[in-house]
Amino acid sequence: AQSVSQHNHHVILSEAASLELGCNYSYGGTVNLFWYVQYPGQHLQLLLKYFSGDPLVKGIKGFEAEFIKSKFSFNLRKPSVQWSDTAEYFCAVRSSGNTGKLIFGQGTTLQVKP
Amino acid sequence: DTEVTQTPKHLVMGMTNKKSLKCEQHMGHRAMYWYKQKAKKPPELMFVYSYEKLSINESVPSRFSPECPNSSLLNLHLHALQPEDSALYLCASRRDVGGNEQFFGPGTRLTVL
């Protein structure tokens, strides 16, 4: 069965620190990969996605992620976080052969201290 | 219009009540989804509709009954819920089952007393 693992459950950073959130998935075939963000009290928003092509993907708000197929990883990065990045971050994977079902990781709570 | 709307935003109901959640999108998407999300947890898929037909039911209890009256509208009928069903219920849509990303609505915060 497919699964998604996010290594960091709770991350606390100071403003301007660099961020990297880990995401690994288990599925041997073609996958589509996503990072979603959920700000406090708000709905899920897509940060970025990878379908094919350049494995380094740039998203909104200065976020980027790198797909490393050999490591089954899709880590999220941001060079300098802001207080407004405080949120819950979810990695998700969708295999190409199913009916569009997304498998989410358990989420990472990011707290940025001003 | 590039959004998914959900009503109501908040709902409080007793265990004997019958209520419905509503989801709407006007992006021409043909796949629509219901998810349940508990605090600090990822969304859990409940149902998938593809071209107005139910294609996935993730073994959801029958006290949750989905309905897709047309391609823009998705309902979730609730009856005899339990307090543990209290959660954020999210609707999402996608262009079609094989395409692109899902767009999520803001959710309905449900409390069952």
Would you say residue B98 has pLDDT above 90? no
Residues A50-77: tens digit of each pLDDT: 988 999 999 999 999 999 999 999 999 9
Distance set, CA B34 to CA A32, A69, B31, B54, B66 (Å) = 20, 30, 11, 11, 8
Contacting residues of B for A106, CB less than 8 Å apart = 41-42
| Nearest beta carbon to residue B104 from set A43, A101, A107 | A43
| Nearest beta carbon to residue B31 from set A36, A92, A100 | A100
B97 vs B19, higher pLDDT: B19
Are B42 and A100 a contacting pair at CB < 8 A?
A: no
pLDDT band at A42 (very low <50, low <70, confident <90, very high): confident
Please tell me the predicted confidence (pLDDT) of residue A98: 55
Please tell me the predicted confidence (pLDDT) of residue A99: 63
Query: Tokens 């350049």 belong to which residue?
Result: A54
Contacting residues of A for B107, CB less than 8 Å apart = 43
Q: Looking at CA atoms only, how far is residue B98 from chain A in angstroms? A: 6
Would you say residue A39 has pLDDT above 70? yes
Q: How far apart are CA B77 and CA B79, in angstroms?
A: 7
Q: Return the DSSP state at B83.
A: G
pLDDT band at B24 (very low <50, low <70, confident <90, very high): very high
Query: Tokens 């959130």 belong to which residue?
Result: A21
pLDDT band at A41 (very low <50, low <70, confident <90, very high): confident
CA-nearest residue to A87 within chain B is B40
Q: Does the beta carbon of A11 lie under 8 angstroms from any beta carbon of chain B? A: no
Q: What is the mean pLDDT of chain A?
A: 91
Q: b/e string for B89-104 if b means 16 or more Cβ within 10 A?
A: bbbbbbbebeeebbbb
- Please report, rounded to a whole number, the percentage of residues in chain B having pLDDT higher than 90: 78
Q: What is the mean pLDDT of residues B63-79?
A: 96
Q: How many CB atoms lie within 10 A of CB B72?
A: 16
Query: Tokens 């497919």 belong to which residue?
Result: A2
Residues A94-114: tens digit of each pLDDT: 876 556 688 999 999 999 999
Please tell me the predicted confidence (pLDDT) of residue A102: 87
Are A107 and B55 a contacting pair at CB < 8 A?
A: no
Q: Does the beta carbon of A2 lie under 8 angstroms from any beta carbon of chain B? A: no
- Please report, rounded to a whole number, the percentage of residues in chain A having pLDDT higher than 70: 94
Q: Does the beta carbon of A42 lie under 8 angstroms from any beta carbon of chain B? A: yes
Please tell me the predicted confidence (pLDDT) of residue A27: 78
